[in-house]
Structure 1
Amino acid sequence: MAALQNSLPSLHHTLFLNAFPQKGLQKHHHTAFLCCKRGVSVRVKAEQSSSAAASSSSSHFQDSCGRRQMIAAGITAPLVSIVDRTSITFAAETKKGFLPVTDKKDGYSFLYPFGWQEVVIEGQDKVFKDVIEPLESVSVNMIPTNKQDIRDFGSPQEVAETLIKKVLAPPTQKTKLIEAAEHDVDGKVYYTFEFLTLAPNYTRHALTAVSIGNGKFYTLTTGANERRWSKMKDRLLTVIDSFKIFNV
């Protein structure tokens, strides 16, 4: 664990914003994407105005679904078409309801729920989030390491507790580790863990996967508001289970 403790300053710099997915600085790589982002604001506003004019019998759930359908159809498709394909490719086939990301430069891949939007948050390599439920997000981060195996940093529980307390949650929030486990995929060891972070006005239920490859310590974290955990659990588990590291 001493090796992991020594890595904490760099880990803290690159991962700490995972605890604040709703407050991250949103920027985009391309001018065309910025135009698309402005289009998002207009379309969401138009949808909200239309909803306000609708009859009082329309439920919040129907409004939310309508906005999600609009976002999925009007935002995600153009987003996919303009992402930098030199480092990310979107496969033709994937699990229903998900889109794949493969970063050929950094050597990792994962799935994320259809309808989530890519944003850029300083200090994180890749972030996708739901524009309506900001606590629903997935992020990937990396730092250099001279270790060859995640087990060199300690047991799953030791690594999980250290990262949760020192990196994945701010010191002002209470945390609770629910479960930590180890599994092997194609000869590579991954640690996965489930935990809660308790803020004054919300509780986030999160899942994290960590592994080592290509001289890097990889961390993928996804989660949702506790009130939506039962609805999002299976989708978030799919995100975690899909995370793979490959040699580059």
Structure 2
Amino acid sequence: MASLQSLPATHRTSFPSASSQLGLKKPAFFLRSRRGAPFLVRAEQMPVASTSPRQDRHGRRGVLTTGAIITWVSLFNQTPLTFAAETKKGFLAVLDKKDGYSFLYPFGWQEIYIEGQDKVFKDVIEPLENVSVNMFPTSRQDIRDLGPPQEVAEALIKKVLAPPSQKTKLVEAKEV
């Protein structure tokens, strides 16, 4: 803010370098008297915090809008692997939307194609270790119709995955 006091016979002169030295945002105008009469010039810089509330609201609104947009983009931009089991360190996730399943397999395993199998992954170092997905038609509408996960896993181990003479241990079976 500036206030000027002078005699009536004056004219304005612009000093751009003076305004930058004073830290003013606009060029400062100083009065110069033709008669050499005394005059007084006072200039003050308004603090930045004294901007109008409307500008503050607009600034805050812009920040909030930007934050909301970034949040929505990050939520919708996630990969569909979030529907698979949580990816653990050292494992990769597989998601088959068409058939409706997902699982994890160890990093470094290689996918191979075998007729009649939906997905097959094998360990390149230990060829006897593998994982595969087989699809069989069923009249059941929901996987929960087969029973609790613990019972289904034990039945699969005993009837399909291991011979009766082999000792097996179920580590975990749960619904996610």
Higher helix share: 1
Higher strand share: 1
Structure with greater Cα Rg? 2
Q: TM-score, normalised by structure 2?
A: 0.40
Tell me which of the two structures has the higher relative contact order, counting C-alpha pairs closer than 8 angstroms and 6 or more residues apart: 1
